[in-house]
Structure 1
Amino acid sequence: MTIIWINGTFGAGKTTTAGKLVGLTEGTRLFDPEHVGYMLRANLSDQEFTDFQQLPPWRTLVPVVMDEIGRLTGDHLIAVQTVLVESYWRELEEGLRTRGYDIVHVLLDADPETLHTRIDADPDGHDIRPWRHNHVPAYQSARPWLLPAADLVIDTTKHPAQSAAEQIRDHVANQL
């Protein structure tokens, strides 16, 4: 089975692209790694962390939960999650590979101006817009390792979600 991990920062189009990709690709389902983080946050409220990705159990449990869902359903999984710390990505990747998954790491990239415009235009999350805006420089800092670590990079400044989803579908079809 295959894991398609769609990475990129807020405003890059991850969620929209993933939704379109599921519609284009039979035998796939969305997986949201944040739900593992929500569970950990609820159960580790006595621990200090600012992002659940900082918790080693998150990086351990995401591949475990993905494996369980993949085995139960037989579906390929499409994960939508920003991962900007290289060592975290390597842990997730290793956890999935040791379970026998092929991983297609997709990076949706856009210029900072486009990202900020999209963040402001998002009708949801008015209260977390500043937090999302603050992640754009972190994303820019991570690009030097993200670009070569990705199997496919799509500039969503130039390619809307439908086009990005089609490119991912075609890339995955050529890989398998």
Structure 2
Amino acid sequence: MLIWLNGTFGAGKTATANELTEVLADCRVYDPELVGALLRHSLGDIPVDDFQDWTPWRPLVAEGAIQLARFTHRPWVVPQTLLREEYYQEIFDRFRSEEVSAFMVLLDAEEEVLRDRIEKSDEFADDPAVSGKVRDWRLAHLRTYAQSRDWMASVADLVIDTSELTAAQAAKTVLAEYLRTA
């Protein structure tokens, strides 16, 4: 089974994914950002605003998740923001067609909390300028998240407000609902 953690930057996807690997036996993390890095290396001369906009990204992410789940017969957690409903449909339709169970979780938080978390992030400690650009890019996406939140919540199997939760608390909530439905 796949546990997809959706939500915008600062919602706690990566931290919650890491916590899930601690509390769910044999759980591993599949990071679609790595597929984006592969495509950036291979398709960097074809401009896009986001690597998700490269057409191959979505089927590669879906197929990677399917193959990993089938190969290991273990749960995989996928921390990845999907802001565009058509991208969600493309990926999750593939899961359904291959009869791979996917549990969608929307990690949400109040905008003020998200802004604070993003502004405090330091992804590239060795390069403050790059960290600043990453923070600016993430902050700019909060508006798109706010516009997408309704559809994201409507397709989620579980919505968690992480505004006042630790990643460990969010992971325990995900785990309880995942086990209840598995």
Tell me whether the two structures share a fold, i.e. TM-score over 0.5.
Answer: yes
Q: List aligned pairs for 1:54-65, cutoff 5 A.
A: 54-65=53-64
Q: Which runs of 4+ in 1 moved over 6 A?
A: none
Using the alignment, how far apart are the partners of 2:96 and 2:56 within structure 1?
Answer: 17
Describe the SS at the equivalent of 1:56.
coil
Using the alignment, how far apart are the partners of 1:104 and 1:70 within structure 2?
Answer: 13
Using the alignment, how far apart are the partners of 2:87 and 2:118 within structure 1?
Answer: 25
TM-score (norm 2): 0.92
Partner residue of 1:48? Answer: 47
Describe the SS at the equivalent of 2:163.
coil
Q: Is residue 136 of structure 1 aligned with residue 130 of structure 2?
A: no
Which runs of 5 or more structure 1 residues have no equivalent in the other structure? none
Q: List aligned pairs for 1:148-163, cutoff 5 A.
A: 148-163=154-169
CA deviations 1:76-105 (Å, max 9, x no partner) are 110000110000001110111222211110
Partner residue of 1:175? Answer: 181
Partner residue of 2:83? Answer: 84
Which residue identity is paired with 2:100?
Answer: Y
Partner residue of 1:116? Answer: 115
Give the CA RMSD over aligned residues.
Answer: 1.1
Which residue identity is paired with 1:167?
Answer: T
* 2:2–2:69 contact (8 Å) kept in structure 1: no
Which residue identity is paired with 1:144?
Answer: D
Which runs of 5 or more structure 2 residues have no equivalent in the other structure? 125-130
Describe the SS at the equivalent of 1:78.
strand
Partner residue of 1:26? Answer: 25
Describe the SS at the equivalent of 1:107.
strand
Q: Number of matched residues?
A: 175
Identity percentage of aligned residues: 38
CA deviations 1:23-45 (Å, max 9, x no partner) are 00002100001111111121112
- The offset of 1:49, in angstroms, is 1.1
Partner residue of 1:10? Answer: 9
